Amino acid sequence: MSSQQSPAQAGAGTPARKAITLHHLREMHARGEKIAVITAYDASFAALVDAAGVDAILVGDSLGMVLKGQPSTLSVTMEQIGYHTRSTSRGVKGAFLIADMPFGSYQENPVQALRNAGTLMAAGAQMVKIEGGGWTPETVRFLVERGVPVCAHLGLTPQSVHALGGYRIQGKDAAGAETLRQHAKALADAGAAMMVLELMPSAVAAQVQADNPQLMTIGIGAGPGTAGQVLVLHDMLGVTRGRLPRFVRNFMEGAASIEDAVARYVKAVKDGSFPDPALHAY
Ligand code: KIV
């Protein structure tokens, strides 16, 4: 095991890819290299997307929808995210591993958030993700000061689907955009190293990145002006049935294999050919 690898990243068998740490991600961002993130939920797909060259893997609570077949992420439990984080970590050789904190696992108070974040870090996560702005900076600061790297998540926050009135684009009017900017600034100041920006006009996402140059913004349906991109694995492989958001590209089209499709995604994120700016003119 190299000194930079976590036990999960060292894995067994195949030669180890150089382990990507938070420090490496920050260096990539500083030199303007785009960060390619994808979701995975088990060891086999983690090994595959890792070999395809993704920089980070998110064990997303999207598993509630793509694995469990639920209409939202709300039913996902700590036990389930813990199980999938442990499984995923066993497949990872080099990618940085982020785990989603499920609905109800961090909202009570910062102590509850720390206890549950600790469980996910023990399961192999190197960072946890929490949704929302306004009340979350206190929790982010509490976690970061105690050694837990945090990814924030603003814009369409799926755990708030009922409060938001559906899966709707956020920050479309001036007041909404300003609220997003203020929430992002407060979260960055509280120590969030990374921030998912979901389903918002590209100009708003680009402004959040410009306001907070050191923050690694990771867009999904938020245009090309972020530090990186994330997609749900099942969506970008064309596995998800039903209507997909228009920003999703099916990378299986023209690909020789699943690994090739993910490698094409990584390349497209890195060279800026994904996402297509025309699909984010909300
Ligand atoms: O749960 C998830 O997969 C996510 C991504 C859509 C960012 O939060």
φ/ψ bin of 88: left (φ > 0), alpha (ψ from -120 to 50), beta (otherwise): alpha
151 belongs to a structural domain: yes
Alpha helices in 125-193 (DSSP H): 136-145, 161-164, 174-189
Ligand 1 atom nearest to 39, measured from its CA: 3
The mean pLDDT of 109-118, rounded to a whole number, is: 98
State how far the Cα of 2 lies from the Cα of 9, in Å rounded to an integer. 9
Residue 116 has pLDDT above 80, yes or no: yes
7 belongs to a structural domain: no
Residues known to be catalytic:
198
The mean pLDDT of 82-103, rounded to a whole number, is: 98
Residue 158 has pLDDT above 90, yes or no: yes
Read off the pLDDT of residues 160-199 as tens digits, 9 standing for 90 and up: 999 999 999 999 999 999 999 999 999 999 999 999 999 9
13 Cα to the center of ligand 1, angstroms? 30
State residue 35's pLDDT score.
98
Tokens of 65: 């929808």
1 Cα to the center of ligand 1, angstroms? 30
The mean pLDDT of 42-59, rounded to a whole number, is: 98
Q: Sort strands 228-231 and 216-220 into parallel, antiparallel or unpaired.
A: parallel
State how far the Cα of 125 lies from the Cα of 211, in Å rounded to an integer. 28
Ligand 1 pocket (Cβ < 6 Å) reads: 39, 58, 60-62, 100, 196, 220, 230, 232
Per the structure, how many domains does the chain have? Answer: 1
State residue 15's pLDDT score.
58
Domain that holds residue 142: 17-280
Ligand 1 atom nearest to 58, measured from its CA: 3
137 belongs to a structural domain: yes
State how far the Cα of 160 lies from the Cα of 175, in Å rounded to an integer. 19
State residue 281's pLDDT score.
61
Question: How far apart, in Å, are the Cα atoms of 138 and each of 110, 121, 264?
Answer: 7, 20, 39
The mean pLDDT of 220-227, rounded to a whole number, is: 97
If one residue of 129, 131, 150, 194 were mutated to test the ligand 1 pocket, choosing by the most ligand atoms within 8 A of its CB, it would be: 129
Residue 3 has pLDDT above 60, yes or no: no
187 belongs to a structural domain: yes
If one residue of 62, 150, 200 were mutated to test the ligand 1 pocket, choosing by the most ligand atoms within 8 A of its CB, it would be: 62
If one residue of 198, 234, 247, 248 were mutated to test the ligand 1 pocket, choosing by the most ligand atoms within 8 A of its CB, it would be: 198
The mean pLDDT of 94-112, rounded to a whole number, is: 98
State residue 214's pLDDT score.
98
9 belongs to a structural domain: no
Read off the pLDDT of residues 204-219 as tens digits, 9 standing for 90 and up: 999 999 999 999 999 9
State residue 14's pLDDT score.
53
Read off the pLDDT of residues 227-237 as tens digits, 9 standing for 90 and up: 999 999 999 99
State residue 11's pLDDT score.
46
Q: What is the rounded average pLDDT for all residues in the chain?
A: 94
118 belongs to a structural domain: yes
The mean pLDDT of 36-62, rounded to a whole number, is: 98
Read off the pLDDT of residues 9-40 as tens digits, 9 standing for 90 and up: 544 445 567 899 999 999 999 999 999 999 99
- Ligand 1, atom 2, residue with closest C-alpha: 60
- Ligand 1, atom 5, residue with closest C-alpha: 60
State residue 16's pLDDT score.
65
Ligand 1 atom nearest to 158, measured from its CA: 8
Q: Is the pTM of this model over 0.75?
A: yes
The domain that holds 39 is classified in CATH as 3.20.20.60
6 belongs to a structural domain: no
State how far the Cα of 169 lies from the Cα of 49, in Å rounded to an integer. 29
Ligand 1 atom nearest to 230, measured from its CA: 7
165 Cα to the center of ligand 1, angstroms? 18
State residue 1's pLDDT score.
39
Q: Are 246 and 228 in contact (CB under 8 A)?
A: no
5 belongs to a structural domain: no
Read off the pLDDT of residues 245-263 as tens digits, 9 standing for 90 and up: 999 999 999 999 999 999 9
- Ligand 1, atom 4, residue with closest C-alpha: 60
